[in-house]
Amino acid sequence: MDTSERIAVHPILGVPEKGRQVQFTYNGKTMSGCEGEPVAMALKAAGVMVHRYTKKRHEPRGIFCAIGRCTDCVMVVDGVPNIRTCVTPLAEGMDVRTQDGVTPLAGDKADKEEADGTI
Ligand code: FES
């Protein structure tokens, strides 16, 4: 794992505590990170900055607030869309995927309209 993007020693907090190394997949590619760290942090350490694309304009979004408030970091995690990866702890074997729009769910009126081209 490339650890060059990680803080080894923080000037105020000292040496960060890290969980054990675990493997997860990002869009099918195997990666590793520290168990318990936010999924978004593991992705950032691996150089992944785009977490989702906006629904209407398909613009890239990534970490913005990093405290679970803005939804810019949402991704599909283990098949579940709209997971705020900045506050979701990384676990062994997670399947993390880039989210395109809202990711259609059964009964989602907005997604049906988008698929039909009515919006
Ligand atoms: S970066 Fe804002 S909710 Fe995750």
- Read off the pLDDT of residues 88-104 as tens digits, 9 standing for 90 and up: 999 999 999 999 988 65
Does 88 reside within a domain? yes
Does 81 reside within a domain? yes
CA distance 110 to 114: 6
CATH classification of the domain holding 72 = 3.10.20.440
Q: Which domain holds residue 25?
A: 21-98
Indicate yes or no: pTM above 0.85.
no
Does 61 reside within a domain? yes
Does 47 reside within a domain? yes
Q: How far is CA 80 from the centre of its chain?
A: 12
What's the CA-to-centroid distance between 6 and ligand 1, angstroms? 19
Does 12 reside within a domain? no
Q: How many domains does the chain have?
A: 1
CA distance 29 to 116: 32
Q: Ligand 1 pocket test: which of 49, 67, 77, 82 has the largest number of ligand atoms within 8 Å of its C-beta?
A: 67
Q: Ligand 1 pocket test: which of 43, 70, 75, 83 has the largest number of ligand atoms within 8 Å of its C-beta?
A: 70
The predicted model gives 33-48 an average pLDDT of 95
What tens digit of pLDDT does each residue of 56-95 get?
A: 999 999 999 999 999 999 999 999 999 999 999 999 999 9
Q: How confident is the model at residue 116 (pLDDT cuts 50, 70, 90)?
A: low
| Higher-pLDDT residue of 103, 17 | 17
| Residue position matching structure tokens 């168990």 | 35
Does 118 reside within a domain? no
Asked if 18 contacts 45 with a C-beta cutoff of 8 angstroms, the reply is: no
Residues with Cβ within 6 A of ligand 1?
63-66, 68-73, 84, 86
